[in-house]
Chains A and B, each alone.
Chain A
Amino acid sequence: MILVSIIGALLVLIGLWGMLTQKNIIKIIIGFSIIDTGTHLLIVSIGYIKGGTAPIIDKTIARSSVVDPLPSALVLTAIVIGLAVTALMLVYAIQLYKQKRSLDINDYKELKC
């Protein structure tokens, strides 16, 4: 429904703002996780049918009153991959801290010209 799309879009915008303005590396990674959650809400809200039930068929459920199963299947994969990428990013942050003892992103400017 539309309200969930608005919530998802607002979460994506807040996460993007957090990623662009914060200096602590851990907070940047938290912003990335918030963007992930917002995107998944946006995708699942597309598949809602008014008055629909969960897509699990029984003897009492008519075949035409279930919600769309496709966005659920896509988001199922995306949630697990989001966790894997977040874990990898955090391990990179630990290794960066071991090199320079600082979690501030302004100290890592070697790639800037």
Chain B
Amino acid sequence: MYIIIISVLGITMITAAFTAIYARKLVTSIIAAGVIGLFASIIYLLLAAPDVAMTEAAIGSALTTVVFLYALNKIYRFNEGEKND
């Protein structure tokens, strides 16, 4: 029973990893990296490690995506501020 769930999650994670590398837009890659962290958190729960699952869901999935999006925002806003000058 666990084998089926873990293999489905594993196939989704590997597909998301390939999407993160070969996507055209950067926002798609960033969200795919967040999805990998989310499914890793579910696998940690199935491996009987609840502390690690909480930490990975909060840091690896939420905060990493937010920090990446903040950095993208700084880069694009720099572009626009230059065009207005």
Give chain A's interface residues, CB within 8 Å of chain B.
Answer: 1, 3-4, 6-7, 10-11, 14-15, 17-18, 22, 24, 26-27, 29-31, 33-34, 36-37, 40-41, 44-45, 47-48, 52-56, 67, 71-72, 75-76, 79-80, 82-83, 86-87, 90-91, 93-94, 97-98, 103
Contacts and interface: CB of A to CB of B under 8 A. Distances in A.
B47 A27 contact: no
The binding surface of chain A is classed by DSSP as helix
The binding surface of chain B is classed by DSSP as helix
Interface of B: 3, 6-7, 10, 13-14, 17-18, 20-21, 26, 29-30, 33, 36-37, 40, 43-44, 47-52, 55-56, 59-60, 63-64, 67-68, 71-72, 74-75, 78
Contacts, number: 126
Contacts of B33: 30, 33-34
